[in-house]
Amino acid sequence: MIRISSALFLAAILSTVPHLQAQASPSKIADELNKLRSLSTEKRPAATVKVATEISALPPGIEKVRFADSVSHLVTEGDQGQDALQAVADTLSKALAETPVPTKNGQPPMPYFDLTRLVRYKHVTVSLDDPLHKQANDILAANEADIAKADFTLKDLHNKSWTLSELRGKIVMVNFWATWCPPCRAEMPSLDAIYTHYQNESLVILSITDEEPFKVS
């Protein structure tokens, strides 16, 4: 009877080994996050869901929150689909529920804003019941009201100045992008085609970046 119990106990231990081996290490997750931008448009959504799932399986802690927040930045690059957005939102929501991040100067820390942006602008759903999450949503709503009144003047590659308020009456698309963002580079021919087709119908596309003019050219 003792031998049988020991055998069953040993079998129970061994049965957990595959699960332990399947859990990705923090270093592996960090490597996968670093490689996401190098993946093709077709492969990136599945890879994003995979790394979000691996982050979700990590033990609670600030490292898990940081990983979840990092992938929340990456999932909004390009159109990775609703499944990827929801998987990332679920992971970040879970990480914050397990390890709430203390407020700084009365303001919600950035992970709460990043989660709230996914909910507010990407139409995902989360069940996080945290006053900092609600506060972040209230702040974003107030910011939107200020943005509606915003104005700016910037110079293009030919040193011509463009002022947003002076374009009133036209159809204006404001596009923020960077050379290091693969989806941003991929969409440039489409934006150029749209502008060429509709420029006679008062369409203006302002593509804004903070990089050096030579690099942008």
pLDDT digits (tens, 9 = 90+) for 37-61: 999 989 999 999 999 999 999 999 9
**Which among 74, 27, 22 is positioned nearest to 49, based on CA atoms?**
74
The SS3 call for residue 73 is helix
pLDDT given at position 204: 94
Fold of the domain spanning 153-216: Glutaredoxin (3.40.30)
Please, which residues bridge with residue 161 across strands? 155
CB-based contacts of 174, cutoff 8 Å, min separation 6: 164, 206, 208
Q: How many CA atoms lie within 13 A of 36 on its CB side?
A: 28
Instruction: Read off the pLDDT of residues 187-199 as tens digits, 9 standing for 90 and up.
Output: 999 999 999 999 9
More confident residue, 168 or 8: 168
Instruction: List, in sequence order, the alpha helices (H) in 123-181.
Output: 131-147
List strand residue ranges (DSSP E) for 41-188, in order.
153-155, 161-163, 171-176
Query: Quick check: 63 pLDDT over 70?
Result: yes
Instruction: Read off the pLDDT of residues 130-162 as tens digits, 9 standing for 90 and up.
Output: 999 999 999 999 998 888 788 899 999 999 999
Query: Quick check: 18 pLDDT over 50?
Result: no
Q: Is 106 left (phi over 0), alpha (psi -120 to 50) or beta?
A: left
Distance between CA 153 and CA 11 in Å, rounded? Answer: 70
pTM of the shown model: 0.71
173 and 202 in contact (C-beta within 8 Å)? no
What average pLDDT does the structure give for the chain?
89
163 and 151 in contact (C-beta within 8 Å)? yes
Instruction: Read off the pLDDT of residues 156-169 as tens digits, 9 standing for 90 and up.
Output: 999 999 999 999 89
DSSP 8-state class, residue 149 = T
- CATH code 3.40.30.10 region(s) in the chain: 153-216
